[in-house]
Amino acid sequence: MDNITVGSSDAEFLAQQAIAAAVESNWEKAAKLNRKILSISKDNVEALNRLALAQSCLGKSQKAQKTYKKVLEIDPYNMIATKNLDKLTKSNGAKTNGNDNASTKFKSTTDNYDSAKLFLFEPGKTKMINLLNLAPPQVLATLKCGDQVLINPKNHSVTILSTDKLYLGALPDDLAHRLISFIAGGNQYDAYVKSATPKMLTVVIREVARSEKFINQPSFQNNQSSYLESD
């Protein structure tokens, strides 16, 4: 486990570390850092929201719901807590209706969400990318790891949308042109949020079906620095 060595009670410094941990999907570390911030400032809404996100990504949906409710006690109109609590509540209700164990790992907007499988690197089939021309921070702040997003190819660009059809960002031109060609030729792709902050959105794009036309042609170049490797 990562050691967190901070000599001062600088909440801002801890927040930067917590955000960095979340970007790397190191949710255990992110949770620990945010709890440390809360030991300094118990009503820090931003830290509470980050902690709830980490808890949900660790499969602790009941704890995440409790944390989001605490945010709403402090700030009843907090959009991040409101939207994510609604998602968690609906997910937990679906599990109960299906007679699933309440401790089952939290599932995001996809019914078959499995983080280990979802973020597993497959050469030529998986790509992790930071989006460009991002949506406003208040939109990005409602996203969390594992949320499915939509790939929206146009004539000369590819945008990424939420499942509610809200614009989130765009792919770089070189990748966009490549995907436009492959999608037009019959390939199929899914995309998911890897990490999200108010200033950055990283998504994972995965090839789920390859057409006969491209049967021997990988969707993505084997560039390890650009790909998401398995945890």
Q: Which helix (H) or strand (E) is 65 found in, with range?
A: helix 61-74
Which pLDDT belongs to residue 146?
81
Looking at the chain, the whole-number percentage of residues with pLDDT higher than 90 is 42
- The alpha carbon of 50 is separated from its chain's Cα centroid by a whole number of angstroms, namely 12
What is the rounded average pLDDT of the residues 175-181? 94
Reported as a pLDDT band with limits 50, 70 and 90, residue 23 is confident
150 C-beta neighbours (distance < 10 Å), count: 15
Asked if 179 contacts 221 with a C-beta cutoff of 8 angstroms, the reply is no
Q: What is the pLDDT of residues 212-221, one digit of tens each?
A: 999 999 999 7
Q: Tell the CATH superfamily of the 11-97 domain.
A: Tetratricopeptide repeat domain (1.25.40.10)
Predicted pLDDT of residue 48: 94
In the chain, domain spans: 11-97, 115-214
Q: What is the pLDDT of residues 64-79, one digit of tens each?
A: 999 999 999 999 988 8
State residue 5's pLDDT score: 44
Minimal CA–CA distance to 33: which of 217, 41, 212, 150?
41
State whether residue 110 is helix, strand or coil: coil
User: Within 10 Å of residue 75's Cβ, how many Cβ atoms?
Assistant: 16
As a CATH number, domain 115-214 is 3.30.70.2330
CA 163 to chain centre: 13
Do 194 and 186 meet the contact criterion of CB atoms below 8 Å apart? no
> What tokens does 95 get?
């599990």
Any idea how long the chain is?
A: 231
pLDDT of residue 178 exceeding 90, the answer is: yes
Provide the pLDDT for residue 96.
Answer: 44
What confidence score (pLDDT) does residue 144 get? 80
Which position has the token pair 């968690």?
Answer: 88
